Structure 1
Amino acid sequence: MGRNLQTGRRLRPIDLARGHGLSTQAVRNYEEAGVLPAAARTAHGHRIYTPLHAAALRAFLALLPGHGHPAAASIMRAVHRGANDEAFRLIDEGHARLLEDRRTLEAVERALRDLAPSGGGARGRAGGPPGQGGVFIGPLAGSLGVRPATLRAWERAGLVQPRREPRTGYRVYDEADVRDVRLAHQLRRGGYLLEQIAPLIARVRTAGGLEPLRGALDDWRARLADRGRALLAGAAGLEAYLRERG
């Protein structure tokens, strides 16, 4: 079947580009990048495309939404040099990244469920300094069962940004800081690294708290579902191309 596709009717770059919203130059660029198999040339140097090239383009465009351009291109290049195992490994890596993102989302959701409403309670439990409306590092660390050095490490990693008491220079954690520390604590207990937690804490700060973040989490979950479907569609597109190659 692959031989029939390769020796079938000739196609021009415009024939491949038409219907995909691509330029003819993009088609030529894809061939030069190895996304499409190498095309034969006429005596005058014009490229000769075939239905096999059209099938390769369809496979690449199917892979693109789920894997992104660099990975999708690498998958197609691996196929065209006969390294199907490498192509399958790259596809597996795409699914593994999605699974890791799902686990991160689940960890954030668990952490949010485990966070009790803060109100003024966290300040009272941790023993904030009189008149300052905040919590010192020692009582806060003690309420979480961690050392003050741990909170200082989290500050260096950008997870929390307490203010300093002007007279003493002591760290003072306000209500938002306590929230961020407690969220970081839950995620650390879930096995997440500081560099993985920092962008999630930043998302909480940008959202203005936990409640606005819930809408962002719903959107995050929907985007993960879209990626999952895109990965399935990409795998189906590649399988169809592999069958046509024979």
Structure 2
Amino acid sequence: MRAFLYLFTVCLFFASCREEKEFLQMDSIEDFYPLQVGKSITYRLDSTIFARSGTVIEVHKYQVKHTVIQETEDNGQKAYLVQRLINNENATGPWVNNGTYLVIPSSRKVETLDNNLRVVNLQAPLRQDFSWKGNSQLPFAPYQQLFEMSTGYDMNTWDFYYASFGNEDIQGQHYENVWTVEQRDESLNIPPTPQTSIGFKERSVEKYAKGIGLVYKDFQLYEYQGAGGSDNPEAHYIGFGITMWMIHHN
């Protein structure tokens, strides 16, 4: 019996060592958001807007180039300044400045700061179903003033989590070692029917490929209000949507 207990203890010890070794050999989150001055990724971007007081759905198509232009600091921590340039769908026009944002990397997380909205896009450890509050630093209802809608009011409580890892084909391109970060997938009465009085959609997901960075993003935040009463003579949408995927990178 003592010999059995001894062997059992030894097995547990080596099993724990193997588990620790496997954890130590896991990829770093920095592998999935590589940063250096001059690094550039170009995306195809489909922007969904609701024109004519929200009664018409339009999808505007662009190319957007994200380029790391400078190493800087954020509250004393190393950060990188990224410039966005925008062009038409086929990039046949001039590249026009579309603003900048910060990326703040560390061994434990990668944050972005864009239009004063700070998000933790990646968080260690890289493990299936690991979750974190990626929007916890956002204010309550961050888009309410822009769109006068209640959809997304609780964004700062959203649970981000690693939904899957593996090889993927996205818009005709093959990627190795892709983490999918699910952020939100809630909807009601979308698409609406003629009888729908109210509906909404909150959809947010990102995909990161090892050695490249962000290769896909889908962010939909809008609500639908059916026609009714003098204050709302026509059914309409409020909000916006963005879908983007990588075209090429250096």
Length-normalised TM-score, structure 2: 0.23
Bigger CA radius of gyration: 1
| Higher relative contact order (CA closer than 8 Å, sequence separation 6+) | 1
Q: Which has the higher strand share?
A: 2
Structure number with higher helix proportion: 1
Give me the TM-score of the superposition, normalised by structure 1: 0.23
